[in-house]
Homo-oligomer: A and B are copies of this chain.
């Protein structure tokens, strides 16, 4: 089988994309739904589950890869059994104009599973998995605190992961209700006061710069 595709996806890896990409139809989504749960089944079995011919499955499968919709195949592990049973979220306040260094430092931290730049009170959220809580403490105080770009951190622990889907698809979106149609008239129901709160970006965040 080799690697299933020797050719590198044309636009993969680049952030700015040139082509518009292929339009996903229901069959494409079905393929992604099946592969989400069974990323290692053969294309023949994939075709059977989706209800298309094998040749068609090969064509679409390769198209999804070539177009970059499918980035890579991977797997899910049981973190506890893998020896890293403690998960923590670290919210980071980044010193402005040091974003580049912040990103560079993070790239060298293999213990970080996820990092995203966010709006709101903090600037970034980091998710780490550790063997014990002491390791989290060490991570925050020794590793993160030594990064000049890090101004402050706030750590919370994850007590339980209720659900964790590899990804969601447009087909997972609930049908827009009558009360919330598409982006046309900009008027919606009055929101129960004090129940919801959107948090905008902190000042000076417009200076967000890549690399």
The answer to whether residues A39 and B75 also contact, given A67-B81, A82-B170, A173-B111 and a CB cut-off of 8 A, is yes
Contact with B along A97-138 (1 / 0, CB 8 A): 000000100110111111111111100110011111011011
**With A110-B174, A111-B174 already in contact, 5 other A-B pairs whose C-beta atoms are closer than 8 Å:** A1-B42, A69-B78, A71-B76, A82-B167, A113-B164
Please list the residues of chain A having a beta carbon within 8 angstroms of any beta carbon in chain B.
Answer: 1-4, 17, 21, 24, 32, 35-42, 45, 67-84, 87, 89, 103, 106-107, 109-121, 124-125, 128-132, 134-135, 137-138, 140-143, 145, 150-170, 172-174, 176-177, 179-180, 183, 188-189, 191-192, 194-199, 201, 208, 210
* 27 A/B residue pairs, CB under 8 Å, sorted by A: A1-B41, A1-B45, A3-B41, A38-B72, A39-B39, A39-B72, A40-B73, A71-B75, A71-B78, A72-B75, A74-B74, A74-B76, A77-B167, A89-B118, A109-B174, A115-B161, A118-B158, A129-B168, A131-B170, A132-B183, A134-B183, A141-B188, A142-B189, A151-B195, A152-B194, A155-B197, A156-B199
